[in-house]
Structure 1
Amino acid sequence: MIVLAWMLARALTPIRSFLCRITGTATFCQKKRMKLLIDTDSGIDDAEAILMALAQPDVEVVGITCVHGNTNVHQVTKNVLRTLQAADRLDIPVFRGAEASLIGEKVHASAYHGDDGLGDAPDPNAPLESLAKSEHAVQALIRYANEMKGELTLIAIGPLTNLALAIRLDQNFTSNLKHIMIMGGNIEGRGNGESLSAEFNFQGDPEGALAVFNDIKCPASIVTWEVCCQPYNNPSVDKFLEMVNMPTKKAHFVKRIRQKQIDEERFQRLGFFRSCDALAMAALLRPDIVEKSEKHYATVELNGSWTRGQMVVDWEGLLKKEPNLNIIMRVNKNAFVELFESALR
């Protein structure tokens, strides 16, 4: 029943949006458009998350800031522009940001995302990096937060270096935001990438992640690595292949950048399709699809021999601190699939 109601509301959204633009009346304009800023280290699942946001008529993507992570920040910037080109949305401003973590360390995810971050499936007609704005991403983050005080939602789907630098430059940065969504960290000490116990984005800048956690002054939510690994949160491989084989420009783009993974035996063996950043984006765009979440205080380990970058949750309230995160545990899979499919239509 919940899914049917959600799908009905989703189906009526374009009609309501059209009537709102035409009539301007409160009857059809009950919900203000979300003003969304995306901070990304654009790999494959980042691209999918961006396409999902762009497909929502009640969401205005005001800008995209780029950070090091899945690949170097210059390639990240090119990847974002290429994703926007696939959606015919090169009008959205793109800003290049931090090239390394706060202490200068760099990570990469070439084993998963390819050397170029988009599956090593180059496009000779891809936009040039020169289309990005000259303003630095950190300055853009601060400017947008000030200009849209209390109205701007920020989703961070890469290492948190840009956000940490914005906090250091403007002590009011997070208090000016309406909401922060983070994809990163872990709640079970399960690592990915090259770490035994740290999630990739937090491993990419542990100090940056801690700086953000210590300065959250607005509602904040997080989708962690282990949550993205649960079959009950994700579509089947067969459903994913059905979606990327739709005869649309965006579906073709996603299939191209996923092709190397699709061809791997482990992709079929896993039994379900995982797109961490898209899952976080879905939970942000449609909070009603979240079926389970808990509010807790969390921090980040910096000094452990094996646990540097691990997210640590105070499950029992031993630190006597107010919760700083809403930790999302489970989403409605059918609703997530519908959002993902809408991104590729």
Structure 2
Amino acid sequence: MPSSSQQAFHDLQNFIARRIIGQRTFIERLLIALLCDGHILVEGAPGLAKTRAVNVLGQGLEGDFHRVQFTPDLLPADLTGTEIYRPQDGSFVFQQGPLFHNIVLADEINRAPAKVQAALLEAMAERQITVGRVTYKLPALFMVMATQNPLEHEGTYPLPEAQLDRFLLYLKIGYPSAAEEKEILRLARGEARQDAAPAGGSDKPLDQATLFAARREVLEVHMAEALEEYLLQLVLATRNPGAYDASLAGWLQYGASPRASIALDRCARARAWLNGRDFVTPEDIQEMAFDVLRHRLILAYEAEAEGIDTDRVIAELIARVAVP
């Protein structure tokens, strides 16, 4: 029998799935990030429900949601807030910015300059912001989902490695199938979808107490010592790929940091928990490895010249590192 927290998350998953068609993996990853207290970077073509998904997630949670459209003229104060002068008494009052919401959508994050990205970095990493000499704590429930468009690079500011490493997951989403797109048309026309809706589900928002209880349950999911060693070997293989295949040695310039090991451990446990298990399997680790590692690897010039991407490298390492 699932726990009350698991049932609440299944209800939330169904709530989102009834409103977002054809993105089941994306929905699962959203919930995993929520369970792991992490942030997500999403890359996909326009019109694939990236913005809609996080908006629906905000509706299904007990909390508030805010969208920030990143543009080249955005200033750090537009995110953090600023001090407002009150001429009545000559004092300054701090007016909170969008980062003080629970769920923040940073739309087209790579269109903002480095100063704005740096302000977001402190919020994501430290769960606080500093304005002047004062530091303000952000809400206990704080999640950033950033999007970027893979099609347009003119006028963009690529995210530095330090910023990328703060994202728990880096997702790449694709187009829906023909059948799923037909359902999208029906949903857009406002037709009833009772027959196609997932079984069960409640529209009652997930309260934060249940969310925090679920996060504690995820940390208690069992991972065998052999699987923990397997997870570590996968991450270590990104730093020394030549030990598994000489051809891989020239593909990577830098491997994943210890933050990747922590992220992969938590995400594998969260995936097992979402699937109703109290133990981690090798499939949990392998499934999450791509989204956890793809933005934490720096390819060598030779790999880029050959058209090899980080997903190819991760797939090769998974195929070569022995499964217990």
Q: TM-score, structure 1 length as denominator?
A: 0.34
TM, length-normalised to structure 2: 0.35
The structure where helix makes up a greater share of residues is 2
Which structure has the higher relative contact order (CA within 8 Å, separation 6+)?
Answer: 2
